[in-house]
Structure 1
Amino acid sequence: MKPGLRALTVGFLAAFLIATAGTGIALHMVTLGTIARLVDRRIENVSAIVGRDPRATVVLARIAALSQRRDTGDIGFLLADAHGRRLGGNIDVRRRFAPGYAEVRSRDRIAGLSAGRAYTRRIGGDLTLTTIAETEPFDGYRAARLRIYLFGFGSIVLIVLGGLVVFAVTIARRFAETRCTVDAIVAGDMRRRVPVIGTDDEFDRHAIAFNRMLDQIAGLMDGLRNVSNDVAHDLRTPLARLRARLAAIATRSDDADIAAAIEDCDRILAMFAAMLRIAEVEAGLRVAGFVPFDLAVVASDVCEALAPVAEDGDRTLRWRLGNPLPMRGDPRLVEQMLVNAIENALRHTPPGTTIWVEGMATGDRAVLAVRDDGPGIPADQHALVLRRFGRLEASRNRPGHGLGLPLVAAIVRLHGGTLALEDGEPGLTLRLAFPA
């Protein structure tokens, strides 16, 4: 699974913070280690000079001489006997240092020294010489150096965090614009485009390319829609005339073939009417007339009107729509949508089938479910029946033109809703959800 933008941003930020903190700590430790090694080398060399002659008087004389010199005046010396008693030097240390190198801290209470290094060794004649030098040029230098590191690396972290915030806000805003455009197009507004700011950056070039693709798709869809609409318009009039002539002939004859021809004309005219209706809905021409209404009331009226039709076909229509389902839209279109959904169930289920219409409020959605206990539709055929002229029967011998559910889907999209086909186990469930 590929990581998303948020995961990549968090991962980059975590890696950067770890790298920055690691670099700061490493630099701090390396600096301390380098200073300690240089001081150790210095006090070891000075200790060798002072302890060349292990006689106490000579050592104390050299300590006095080095204490007066400019380059060694900051070094402390302590000469002690085998029992640790102080014999002389320019400092006084309360604790006894073990042979070798050691850290010196402010708790050792050496005047003028807050941090340093000590080198202790035996110089002969049971004498022990301790040499001490500072590792900080002034008091509180380590804390000041730590503050410098924190300020320097902290500034880098703040700059990167600020950049990431600006980057994230910019990305989120431009992605939101693209997402809103996609949502508007899915809802039926094919004229919506991604805003182009005019900065000629990558986002603008992406928006221009995206809009150019939408223009091409819209042009192709308009061409297909115009062809089907023109065919429907051009053929509807001559078919209506043909039906009128057949009806006139039928008044003078009771020929069954003429009656069958009239029924065929009615089916073709109904198909063309459905095609034009879908085109009107998909064009979004009815959005300006949207008003608030109760979906439960409209659904109840439709169910009451179709219940006798279902009974005539030896089917049962039941509904449960007690609670209000407020929504905004075109009540007449929603009524036609429900009629198509219920008639689809009546037409494609065997006698004895029961159809239920139920309403419910789910969060901020008004939901209608039209379900039956008929044979249902295989899951891999759901997309087919929502397509124009899509029919499960390849031979197309049964009545119908495959435009009922596509009209339902077009009306649902116009209202910003969703249509889902679900397996009713048995039967089929059409779940229609609209913004409340």
Structure 2
Amino acid sequence: MAPLKLPLRTGLLLALFSALALGISIGGLVLVDREARRLEAATGAARDLAEIEAKLPGALADPQSGPLVASALAEIGQLAGETQQPRFIFLRGADGTVRGETAIWPTDARPYQEKYQLFTARGVPAAGVARRLGDGAELLIGRPVPGSAPVRTSLTIWGLAAAVLLLGLSAATGITISRQTTRRIARMNALCERVEEGDVDARLPEEAPVDELEQLGRHMNRMLEELARRLDALRSASDNLAHDLRTPLSRVQGHLSRVESLALKSDNVSAAEEAALASIELDRLMRAFNALLDLREIETEPTSPPQFFDLALVIADAVELHEAVAEDQKGVRIERRVAPCRMRGHASLVLRAVANLVDNAVKVSPRGAVVLVESDCDAREVRIRVIDEGPGFPSFSRSPSTLGGHGIGLSIVRAVARRHGGRLETASGATGATVTLILRK
């Protein structure tokens, strides 16, 4: 049985989900850090504005204090530059004139957190507050948003380490958990293979806890128990039928033989011929009956475990069973083109199937014909072909001269093919039929 790939796939899938979760978490931390830095800059600018209002009480709201406010703001900006405390101060008069860091009001200024502003000054992202003055001018004070390089570096290092750790733990956890599952699935597969080989008495061990797989296993056990019960009933009915019919049929055969002998002694040729014909038909019925019992045995009886055997020797034995009779009584020659091959299965069943096919081919082939038996195999399959020079299909499979009028011979071959995980293929040609028995190695 091929190894299951579920552990690797499950482990990789779990590792992928863990990596995605980690990536989302790191992305969330980056966003939180960015918001924290913006808020830090904005609240700092709000404190700066509060300090200005404290130093110039009432000046910001006084329409007459515009020049005083502008002068004070210029001094604060100069002092901030000298003390290495970066501040961004913009003052836009009622006439649109801008004073401050540059003569241009930040064009990207936008609201942030309802009471703050985000903008860019000197190419640096900043956050601050805006205030309308008493003379109609507008004041914008901001601080630069601290860079995120240190945080990103830390998050990158931590994230990579955590990702490697999570990937390893996830893969190990997924493989461990899924191996426990696949071991149980492997037991179910092994059970199915044993049942395919005819062992309907095989069962799965019942374990605890009763999860979904355990419930499935118990359902399989109950299903197999019902199957075994029905097969036992079929075997019992077949055995009873065989016991009830075989003895009477044998007695009738004996009676017909005595009738034929008595008719010949009394020179009643017509009665002797009728008795002979009846005996032939009865013999055909007996052979069909025995074939049915063989089919029942193949389909329902458990066999020994499959073993490796030489297919060429089995085919040779099957041909030898019919070779002498074919040449002496029908003038049919059997040729073999058999490739060396070893396969795993039931040699006795394969022998019976090939012998059936050869027997059928000899029966339908005219005198002087050649029956060809050939085989080849590859890494997966064995193919056994029997080619005759008879009338071909469909009459081949249902002809009274082939299978006793019941088609049981090919049914037996099909049963052997199913037992070996294979199939039976038939085809008619210009001068005969080809039957191919395909078996799994």
TM > 0.5 between the two? Answer: yes
The correspondence for 1:196, drawn from 206, 229, 243, is 206
- C-alpha distance in 2, partners of 1:34/1:78? 19
Closer, same or farther: CA 193–351 of 1 in aligned 2, 3 Å: farther
Deviation at 1:269, TM superposition (A): 2.1
Question: 3-state DSSP class of the match of 1:231?
Answer: helix
Task: Report whether the alignment pairs 1:429 with 2:435.
Answer: yes
Q: How does 1:379-398 map to 2 (within 5 A)?
A: 392=398
Q: What is the Cα deviation at residue 295 of structure 1? A: 2.0
Matched residue type, 1:242: V
Distance 1:341 1:198, change over 3 A: farther
* Structure-2 separation of matches of 1:287 and 1:195: 22
Query: 2:406 and 2:298 mapped to 1: Cα distance?
Result: 18
Q: Give 2:257's aligned residue.
A: 247
Give the distance between the partners of 2:434 and 2:368, measured in 1 at CA: 15
Q: Which residue of 2 aligns with 1:277?
A: 294
Q: Residue 424 of structure 2 aligns with which residue?
A: 420
Aligned to 2:120: 100
The one-letter amino acid paired with 2:425 is: L
Contact 1:187 1:413 (C-alpha < 8 Å) held by counterparts: no
Amino acid at match of 2:352: Q
Tell me if structure 2 keeps the 8 A contact 1:374–1:428. no
1:50 touches 1:63 (CA, 8 Å); kept in 2? no
Alignment partners' CA distance in 2, 1:135 and 1:176:
57
1:319/1:152 Cα in 2 relative to 1: closer, same or farther (>3 Å)? same
Assess, with a 3 A threshold, how the Cα gap between structure 1 residues 324 and 374 changes in structure 2: closer, same or farther: same
**Deviation per residue, 1:78-107 (Å, 9 max, x gap):** 99x9999xxxxxxxxxxxxxx934677xxx
- Structure 2 length-normalised TM: 0.67
Instruction: State the shift of 1:360 in Å.
Output: 1.8
1:363 aligns with 2:367: no
**The 10-residue stretch of structure 1 (30-39 or 299-308) with the greater mean CA deviation from structure 2:** 299-308
What is the identity, as a one-letter code, of the residue corresponding to 1:266?
Answer: D
**Uncovered stretches (5+) of structure 2, i.e. residues with no partner:** 53-68, 90-98, 103-118, 131-140, 265-271
2:229 counterpart SS class: helix
Shift of residue 118 of structure 1? Answer: 8.7
Does structure 1 residue 211 correspond to structure 2 residue 227? no
TM-score, normalised to structure 1, is 0.67
> Which residue is 2:231 aligned to?
221
Question: How far apart, in 2, do the equivalents of 1:209 and 1:153 lie?
Answer: 42
Say which of 56, 59, 71 aligns to 2:76: 59
Q: Is the 8 A contact 1:229 1:279 kept in 2?
A: no
Displacement of 1:210 after TM fit?
Answer: 1.6
Moved more, 263-272 or 302-311: 302-311
> Counterpart of 1:263?
280
Q: Given the superposition, is the C-alpha separation of residues 45 and 400 from structure 1 closer, same or farther in structure 2, using an over 3 Å criterion?
A: same
Could you give the per-residue CA deviations for residues 284-341 of structure 1, whole angstroms, max 9, x where no partner exists?
Answer: 56527x77543212323433553454455475533202x4323456655443322111
2:34 maps to a residue whose letter is G
Relative to structure 1, is the Cα distance of residues 351 and 338 closer, same or farther in structure 2, using a 3 angstrom cutoff? same
Of the three residues 337, 340, 345, the one matched with 2:356 is: 340
Write out aligned runs for 1:162-181 (5 A).
162-181=172-191
Would the alpha carbon gap of residues 326 and 245 (structure 1) be closer, same or farther in structure 2, given more than 3 Å must change?
same
How many residues align? The count is: 377
| 1:75-86 paired onto structure 2 within 5 Å | 75-76=85-86
Q: Which has the higher contact order (CA 8 A, sep 6+)?
A: 2
The equivalent of 1:296 in structure 2 is 312
Deviation at 1:251, TM superposition (A): 2.3
Is 1:24 the counterpart of 2:12? The answer is no
Could you say what secondary structure the match of 1:287 adopts? coil
Whole-angstrom CA distance in 1 between matches of 2:384 and 2:204: 33
- Secondary structure of the 1:190 match is coil
Judged with a 3 Å threshold, the aligned counterparts in structure 2 of structure 1 residues 164 and 264 are, in CA distance, closer, same or farther, namely same
Shift of 1:134: 3.8
Matches of 2:401 and 2:321 in 1, distance apart?
A: 29
CA contact (8 A) 2:373 2:384 kept: yes
CA contact (8 A) 1:188 1:284 kept: yes
RMSD of aligned C-alpha atoms?
4.8
Partner of 1:37: 38
State the alpha-carbon separation in 2 of the partners of residues 354 and 32 from structure 1: 90
Letter in 2 for 1:345: A
Contact in 1 for aligned 2:361/2:371 (Cα 8 Å): yes
- Deviation string 1:215-245 (CA, Å, 9 cap, x unpaired) is 1122122212321232022211121122122
| Counterpart contact for 2:39–2:127, Cα < 8 Å | no
Measured in 2, the distance between the counterparts of 1:83 and 1:333 equals: 100
Q: Tell me if structure 2 keeps the 8 A contact 1:47–1:131.
A: no
Equivalents in 2 of 1:331, 1:338: separation in Å?
A: 11
